[in-house]
Chain A
């Protein structure tokens, strides 16, 4: 008999109200934080509340959002993927190499490049998952290895140089702002999030991701193979790293072996700020999108306020720690409501 079982005795909150409270505490909390931060900068920072600035933020969060979408799957299963930054670098050079092949028409080159990026990323992710489940090695270590291997492979493929000269139509699409407010690359990010949301919420596969992260042994003894879902989560993370590489190419128009340094940490930060628990089983991909927004809004806002580049990381670091502390409190609150 534990403390929690005694709390459950009375079950004081009606189901309908509990549902609403749960939504408020679990999902709306991060969103509220984002709104408050935006209000703060709107009031204090010149130019923050302008459409130009909003566009800039949309453009800047695209890559991190795509990476963080895949990362959400991995963290939900209780793993971590440190390799996405350098996998992204590898994919940019692979994609760019394919795209500048002059024997192909631009349309064919772009399509092939997209497929090559996604395939490269997925293979890296699959290897992460397969190695860590097959030999029961913590994913922290395996993906740390992959971080180095993919970075090395990116140098080999690109011969240690930056690849330029992407097709003009591709570059134009990257600069496109649909309807004057929706940058094409942000649209890509939103589509990836929407796909992830659908899978996690409405499919058997999504349910299994949460279940494996909650208790993989119970899942195994219930007649499933939890390793399949772990490998799948890593493969998805690799896949989104490949898509993020295409977004990188759209935005910066170069394939670079030194791209993506530190991106994995931003992606993890977005996931955690978004309320997904590092121990797995709990979280939401919409939260991840909001988390990515919070990171970028902070960064942009602080810059507009004139906070120097030296102090900015300190503030952002504090916010990440604060988010995790709030998460612990949120857990306690949720237990009382449930």
Chain B
């Protein structure tokens, strides 16, 4: 095998934690190599070593037969290794072209930027990734998927030999993923070596040649993907079997309507929407990113203004002008942006949990820390939140445990209907399963649950019913007996395809 990159016994230790230990791996020239592992398995550390952000404590890395010891990301780029990080690093107020060429702007005399050359070169790069868009547009105007492609185009502009893609599909919709895959295949055909990190196990088979699995900082196995199955991968990742990921509970008896929304209108340009969820029911909300799913939920919850519409809880109309009204009436919203909108990241687990109802842990405005600790410990135990103590800052928990803290805070308040927006995004398989179980426990307690997700298999696994958004409109409702990926997708596209 002609190895373009090889690692020999590479290790990296942080104060008190071993992030990577004795990892030996070689990547063949021209292959697409998948790296899998749960959160905390060491994938990010590995990438950061390649990107020149961290330096290994032990072991050797060789690139193209030469020792590879980048001290900075710039060194890594110079060597021909380019990393597209999960968090995009574009400058929103500059144009696409400027972002693409930032490190090497074409210049005329006196250092003046040559706009013509800049834009025409940018156009070529964009064509390479199949993006048909004016390079003079500012990046802030783009959707996440387009930004992702711009990042890849940027990586290509440096004539990279090795491209590392860190969870590029986390925020993409199925057709966007298709397009990304066709670009990856084209790059591969051109001889670019690709390292691809993902949480979505189903998709890696389409593009990957080989797979390496990490667990707790150690390399578990490197295999040919051909002949492996998703359960095989899961077993290697978590070290045990997972039978049915979702665990649909058919024994739950659906009750009366818990929450109904009639003629909700966000602003003059969006159509009315109506839907309802029953006690004990998990209602799925499908649609492309930007199809108005999140916006509808936020408007319903009072987080964003709405023009019109009637919200009924248990058959009684309620006025919701702000989130506090929604919360008072027993609604809970788990936002898609967990860190930005759901958590007090630098505050402790207990304080995050009790924030929804401080009256339960206080008398006459004075806090009772003992009651608070007891309540928090109780929920942390119930939900199996892995934290060193309830005084640990939420920032230092993994994505799955952070999501459990968000759930705990709403359970602390007591809720009748939960709205969950992308509840398992960035959550690893083990914790994901636990979150599904919690949702079933809540459904069994006759809570109404609305689940917004871009992960269609997840929705089909979990929901009694799925409503589909397309261009701000609810275009269809599919009962569980009729669940079919094709059908739901074609509904999601309906309003975008028609003239």
> Measuring CB to CB, which residues of chain A are less than 8 angstroms from any residue of chain B?
1-13, 15, 18-19, 202-208, 210-211, 214-215, 217-225, 281-282, 335-336, 338
- Which positions 361-398 of chain B face chain A at CB distance < 8 Å? 362, 365-367, 388-389, 391-393, 395-398
Query: Shortest Cβ distance from A230 into chain B, in angstroms?
Result: 15
B40 touching A9, Cβ below 8 Å:
yes
Query: Shortest Cβ distance from A331 into chain B, in angstroms?
Result: 9
B366 touching A223, Cβ below 8 Å:
no
Is B345 part of the binding interface, using a Cβ–Cβ cutoff of 8 Å?
A: yes
Contacts of B347 in A (CB 8 A): 210-211, 214, 281
Complex A-B: 24 CB contacts under 8 Å: A1-B39, A6-B45, A8-B388, A9-B17, A9-B19, A9-B40, A11-B16, A12-B16, A19-B391, A205-B365, A214-B344, A215-B344, A218-B343, A218-B344, A220-B303, A221-B303, A221-B333, A222-B409, A223-B327, A223-B328, A223-B357, A224-B324, A281-B344, A336-B16
Provide the B317-342 mask, 1 if CB < 8 A to any CB of A, else 0. Answer: 00000111011100001010000111
Cα separation A202 to B42 with both chains bound (whole Å): 41
**Range class of the B interface residue count:** 35 or more
Contacts of A10 in B (CB 8 A): 16-18
Q: Is the interface of A mostly helix, strand, loop or mixed?
A: helix
CB-contact partner of B396 in A7, A15, A202, A205, under 8 A? A7
Assuming the contacts A1-B40, A204-B358, A223-B324, asked whether A336 and B15 have C-beta atoms less than 8 A apart, the reply is yes
> Measuring CB to CB, which residues of chain B are less than 8 angstroms from any residue of chain A?
14-19, 39-40, 42-45, 48, 301, 303, 322-324, 326-328, 333, 335, 340-347, 351, 355-359, 362, 365-367, 388-389, 391-393, 395-399, 409, 413
Cα separation A218 to B356 with both chains bound (whole Å): 10
Contacts of A6 in B (CB 8 A): 14, 17, 19, 40, 42, 44-45
Contacts of B396 in A (CB 8 A): 4-5, 7-8, 335, 338
Contacts of B328 in A (CB 8 A): 223
- Chain A residue at smallest Cβ distance from B398: A5
CB-contact partner of B341 in A3, A7, A221, A335, under 8 A? A221
Which of B43, B328, B341, B357 has the most chain A CB within a 10 Å cutoff?
Answer: B341
- Chain A residue at smallest Cβ distance from B347: A214
B399 touching A1, Cβ below 8 Å:
yes
Contacts of A211 in B (CB 8 A): 344, 347, 351, 355
Query: Shortest Cβ distance from A202 into chain B, in angstroms?
Result: 6
Contacts of A225 in B (CB 8 A): 322, 324
Cα separation A97 to B292 with both chains bound (whole Å): 61
Cα separation A127 to B264 with both chains bound (whole Å): 36
A221 touching B351, Cβ below 8 Å:
no
Cα separation A7 to B15 with both chains bound (whole Å): 7
- Chain B residue at smallest Cβ distance from A277: B346
Cα separation A14 to B231 with both chains bound (whole Å): 37
- Chain B residue at smallest Cβ distance from A279: B346
Contacts of A18 in B (CB 8 A): 388
Contacts of B346 in A (CB 8 A): 214, 281-282
B16 touching A5, Cβ below 8 Å:
no
Cα separation A336 to B343 with both chains bound (whole Å): 20
B341 touching A218, Cβ below 8 Å:
yes
Query: Shortest Cβ distance from A102 into chain B, in angstroms?
Result: 42
> What is the total of A-B residue contacts with beta carbons within 8 Å?
138
Contacts of B392 in A (CB 8 A): 8, 11, 338
Contacts of B18 in A (CB 8 A): 10
Contacts of A2 in B (CB 8 A): 44
Cα separation A223 to B345 with both chains bound (whole Å): 18
Contacts of A13 in B (CB 8 A): 16
A223 touching B391, Cβ below 8 Å:
no
- Chain A residue at smallest Cβ distance from B392: A338
Cα separation A9 to B40 with both chains bound (whole Å): 7
B344 touching A15, Cβ below 8 Å:
no
- Chain A residue at smallest Cβ distance from B334: A221
Query: Shortest Cβ distance from A182 into chain B, in angstroms?
Result: 29
Cα separation A9 to B357 with both chains bound (whole Å): 30
A7 touching B16, Cβ below 8 Å:
yes
A219 touching B39, Cβ below 8 Å:
no
Cα separation A2 to B17 with both chains bound (whole Å): 13
Contacts of A220 in B (CB 8 A): 303, 322-323
A4 touching B367, Cβ below 8 Å:
no
A7 touching B324, Cβ below 8 Å:
no
Starting from the known contacts A211-B347, A218-B340, A222-B323, 15 additional A-B residue pairs (CB-CB under 8 Å) come to: A3-B44, A5-B397, A5-B398, A6-B45, A7-B16, A8-B17, A8-B392, A9-B40, A203-B365, A217-B340, A221-B323, A222-B409, A225-B322, A225-B324, A335-B396
Contacts of B324 in A (CB 8 A): 223-225
Contacts of B351 in A (CB 8 A): 207, 210-211
Contacts of A281 in B (CB 8 A): 344, 346-347
Cα separation A1 to B199 with both chains bound (whole Å): 11
Cα separation A43 to B391 with both chains bound (whole Å): 41
Query: Shortest Cβ distance from A299 into chain B, in angstroms?
Result: 33
A11 touching B358, Cβ below 8 Å:
no
- Chain A residue at smallest Cβ distance from B390: A15
Cα separation A181 to B388 with both chains bound (whole Å): 47
- Chain A residue at smallest Cβ distance from B361: A204
CB-contact partner of A222 in B327, B367, B397, under 8 A? B327
Contacts of B359 in A (CB 8 A): 204
Which of B43, B323, B345 has the most chain A CB within a 10 Å cutoff?
Answer: B323
Contacts of B42 in A (CB 8 A): 6
Contacts of B399 in A (CB 8 A): 1, 5
A215 touching B15, Cβ below 8 Å:
no
Contacts of A223 in B (CB 8 A): 323-324, 326-328, 356-357, 413
Contacts of B398 in A (CB 8 A): 1, 5, 8
Contacts of A221 in B (CB 8 A): 301, 303, 323, 333, 335, 341-342
Q: Nearest 4 pairs between A and B by C-beta?
A: A223-B327, A12-B16, A10-B17, A8-B396
Cα separation A12 to B17 with both chains bound (whole Å): 8
Which of A13, A335, A338 has the most chain B CB within a 10 Å cutoff?
Answer: A338
Cα separation A2 to B19 with both chains bound (whole Å): 11
Cα separation A133 to B472 with both chains bound (whole Å): 31
Which of A13, A211, A221 has the most chain B CB within a 10 Å cutoff?
Answer: A221
- Chain A residue at smallest Cβ distance from B301: A221
Which of A206, A207, A222 has the most chain B CB within a 10 Å cutoff?
Answer: A222
B39 touching A7, Cβ below 8 Å:
no
- Chain A residue at smallest Cβ distance from B337: A217
B395 touching A335, Cβ below 8 Å:
yes
Query: Shortest Cβ distance from A126 into chain B, in angstroms?
Result: 20
B365 touching A215, Cβ below 8 Å:
no
